[in-house]
Amino acid sequence: MNSPASVAANFADALTLLREKPEARDEQLAAFQLLTASLDGGPLDLVITPRSVRVNGSDIPEKAAGVFPLREQLLGHGVGELRLPAGIDTALFLTLLRSLAAPRGRYRSVHELATTVNGADAGLVLAPPAPEGATAAGDWSVYEELGEDSAEHAIAAAAKAAEERTNDKLAELVARMDRDPADSGVPDLLNEIVVLTDAAVSRERWGEVVRAAGAIVAAEQRAGDASFGRAYAIALRRMLPRSVLEHIARMTTGAQRARVMPILKRMGADATEVLLGLLASAGTIGERRAYYSALRQMTAGTDLLVNMLTHDEWFVVRNVADLCGELRIEAAVPRLARHLSHEDERVRRSVAGALSKIGTPATTEPLRQAMRDPSPTVRLQAVQGIDGRRGRGLAMTLAVLLDEENHPDITREILLALGRIGTSEAVQALGRAAAPGRRLFHRKPLALRLAAIDGLRVAGNAAATALLQSMLTDDESEVRQAAQKALAHITA
C-alpha cells in the first residue's frame, strides 16, 4: 500500500470526479485505478476524527491534500468509519464510491447507505462517527446505550460542528487575505481557501462559495500587478469548475444576484457559456429574463452568442438575437439575416430589432428585407431602431416605403426615423409628407402631416427649420401650431 496520505488524496479525487463530473468517464476510470493501485489489494480502515482522517492507524491532518473535502463528504452521509476488506470486489467498490459521492441528504442515515451498498457479507463496514464517551475510535457501544434517536442526534451534531469549524476557518482566511491582497503569503492562503471552498461545495453551501469567490475577485483587483497575481486566477479556476459555476449562475435569479455578477464577469467566456446553457434550458419566463439580463452584462464570449443563433428552440434564438442587438455584435449579422425568413414572427421581430441596433453597412440589405415583412410588428421593429449615424444608407429606402406603407404606427415611425437620419434626402421626404395635397379631394391626412412635422423637429437642422417656417402660414390651424411648437423646440 502507498502512504496513507496518498490513499486519502486518491479517495477524495475519486469522489470529487464522481460528484462533479458524472460524464467524465475516462477521468473517473483513471482516478479509480489510481485509488485501487494505492490500496495495492490490502484492507482499508478509514476513521473520521475531529480534525483529521485516520487511514490504517495513521492520522492525516485536514490541511493535507483532499482530507478536508473527504471528511466533509463522508460526514455529510453520517459516515464516521469505513472498513474495506483486502481484495474487495471491483464492482462493489465502485458501488460504494458512487453512493458516497451522492449529494448530501440522499440517504436518511448511514444505515440506509450501508443497505444500499449491500456489502456486509463481503466484509464492508460503514459506521457513524464515534460519539463522546466512546473509549476509542470504532467503539460503537455507546450508541447502544444512547438508543437510535440519540445516535442520530450525535451524528447530526458532529456534522454541524464540523460545518461550523469550516465556516469559521474560511472566514478567518478570507479576512487575512483581504487585509493585504499583495502580501507574499497570499498564495498559501488561497490554497487553503480553495480546500475549504471544496468542502462547502460538497455540502452545497453555495452562499459560502459565493462569499469566498467574491472576496478573491475583489482582492485580485486590489493586488494589481503583484508578482504572484496569477495565483488569484489559478485559485478561481480551481474553485469554480463548470459544475460549480453553473450553481452560482443559477443564483442570478434570486437575491444573491448583485454578489454573483462580479464573479461571473471575472470568469469571462466560461460564465457566458454557462449562462447561455441556462437560458436555453430555462423552465420559466422569470428564469429566462434573469439569465438574459445577466448575459447583457457579460463582455466576454460573444462568439458563443453567434453560435447559439443555430439553436432549435425559437425562444432561444429570439433571446440570443436580442442580446446580439444589445451588444451590437457585428459578426452576428449574417446569421441574423438568415432568420428573417423564420416561421415564428417573434423571432423575426427580434432579428429586425437587433439588425437596426447593430446598424453597420452589412445590415442595410437585411433591414430592407425586414421593412417589407408581412407582419406589421416586424416592420415596426425594423424602423424603430434606426438612428441617424448608422441609418444614412436607408434614407431612400424609407422614403420609398413611406408611399407604400398603410399602417399608421409604422408610417409615423418611418417619419421619425427620417428625422433622426436628417440628411438632405431625408428632410426632403419629410417636407413632401408634411405638405398639403394639391386638390380638395386629395388632401393628405392631418395625422400624416403632423407626424412629418414631428420628424422635422427631430431633424432640427437648417433645412428642416426652413420647411417648418413655411408652414406657419398653412391653411390648417393644427399644422401652424405644430410647426410653431417644433420651431420653439429647435431654437430652445
Considering the domain boundaries, does residue 299 fall inside one? no
Q: 141 pLDDT exceeds 90?
A: no
* 113 and 179 share one domain: no
* 63 and 116 share one domain: yes
Return the amino acid letter for 178. D
Considering the domain boundaries, does residue 289 fall inside one? no
Query: What is the per-residue pLDDT for 229?
Result: 64
Query: What is the per-residue pLDDT for 230?
Result: 81
Q: Which of 70, 346, 386, 19 is nearest to 199 (CA)?
A: 70
Report which of residues 63 and 290 the model is more confident about. 290
Query: What is the per-residue pLDDT for 147?
Result: 45
Considering the domain boundaries, does residue 471 fall inside one? yes
Which residues are bridge partners to 52 per DSSP? 49, 61
* 133 and 171 share one domain: no
Q: 162 pLDDT exceeds 70?
A: no
Last residue of a domain, one of 239, 261, 281: 239
* 13 and 63 share one domain: yes
* 13 and 123 share one domain: yes
* 120 and 180 share one domain: no
* 117 and 232 share one domain: no
* 129 and 30 share one domain: yes
Q: Of 106-115, 260-269, 405-414, which range is least confident?
A: 106-115
Which residues are bridge partners to 61 per DSSP? 52
Considering the domain boundaries, does residue 155 fall inside one? no
pLDDT band of 167, cuts 50, 70, 90: low
Q: 342 pLDDT exceeds 80?
A: yes
Q: Of 20-24, 420-424, 453-457, which range is least confident?
A: 20-24
Q: 146 pLDDT exceeds 60?
A: no
pLDDT band of 228, cuts 50, 70, 90: low
Q: Which of 135-139, 144-148, 394-398 has the highest mean pLDDT?
A: 394-398
Query: What is the per-residue pLDDT for 487?
Result: 93
Mean pLDDT within 216-222:
89
* 175 and 121 share one domain: no
Q: Which of 52-66, 131-145, 419-433 has the highest mean pLDDT?
A: 419-433
Q: What is the 3-state secondary structure (H, E, C) of the chain?
A: CCCHHHHHHHHHHHHHHHHHCCCCHHHHHHHHHHHHHHHCCCCEEEEEECCEEEECCEEEECCCCCHHHHHHHHHHCCCCEEEECCCCCHHHHHHHHHHHCCCCCCCCCHHHHHHHHCCHHHCCEEECCCCCCCCCCCCCHHHHHHCHHHHHHHHHHHHHHHHHHHHHHHHHHHHHHHHCCCCCCHHHHHHHHHHHHHHHHHCCCHHHHHHHHHHHHHHHHHHCCCCCCHHHHHHHHHHCCHHHHHHHHHHHHCCCHHHHHHHHHHHCHHHHHHHHHHHHHCCCHHHHHHHHHHHHCCCCCHHHHHHHCCCCCHHHHHHHHHHHHHHCCHHHHHHHHHHHHCCCHHHHHHHHHHHHHHCCHHHHHHHHHHCCCCCHHHHHHHHHCCCCCCCHHHHHHHHHHHHHCCCHHHHHHHHHHHHHHCCHHHHHHHHHHHCCCCCHHHCCCHHHHHHHHHHHHHHCCHHHHHHHHHHHHCCCHHHHHHHHHHHHHHHC
Query: What is the per-residue pLDDT for 1?
Result: 58
* 8 and 91 share one domain: yes
* Strands 81-84 and 44-49, sheet pairing: antiparallel
Considering the domain boundaries, does residue 220 fall inside one? yes
Query: What is the per-residue pLDDT for 80?
Result: 85
Last residue of a domain, one of 215, 239, 263: 239
Considering the domain boundaries, does residue 14 fall inside one? yes
* 474 and 417 share one domain: yes
For residue 397, give the CATH number of its domain.
Answer: 1.25.10.10
Query: What is the per-residue pLDDT for 74?
Result: 86
Q: How many domains does the chain have?
A: 3
361-415 pLDDT tens trace: 899 999 999 999 999 999 999 998 888 777 788 888 898 988 888 899 999 999 9
pLDDT band of 166, cuts 50, 70, 90: low
Query: What is the per-residue pLDDT for 91?
Result: 86
Average pLDDT of the residues of the chain: 84
Considering the domain boundaries, does residue 215 fall inside one? yes
pLDDT band of 177, cuts 50, 70, 90: confident
Q: 140 pLDDT exceeds 60?
A: no
59-80 pLDDT tens trace: 888 778 788 888 888 887 888 8
Q: How far apart are CA 445 and CA 450, in angstroms?
A: 9
Q: 145 pLDDT exceeds 70?
A: no
pLDDT band of 143, cuts 50, 70, 90: very low
Query: What is the per-residue pLDDT for 194?
Result: 85
* 98 and 173 share one domain: no
pLDDT band of 337, cuts 50, 70, 90: very high
Considering the domain boundaries, does residue 219 fall inside one? yes
Query: What is the per-residue pLDDT for 161?
Result: 54
Query: What is the per-residue pLDDT for 359?
Result: 87
Mean pLDDT within 173-192:
84
In this prediction, what percent of the chain has a pLDDT beyond 90? 29
What are the residues whose beta carbons fall under 8 Å from the beta carbon of 26, sequence distance 6 or more? none
Query: What is the per-residue pLDDT for 159?
Result: 52
Domain that holds residue 423: 389-492
Last residue of a domain, one of 218, 239, 260: 239
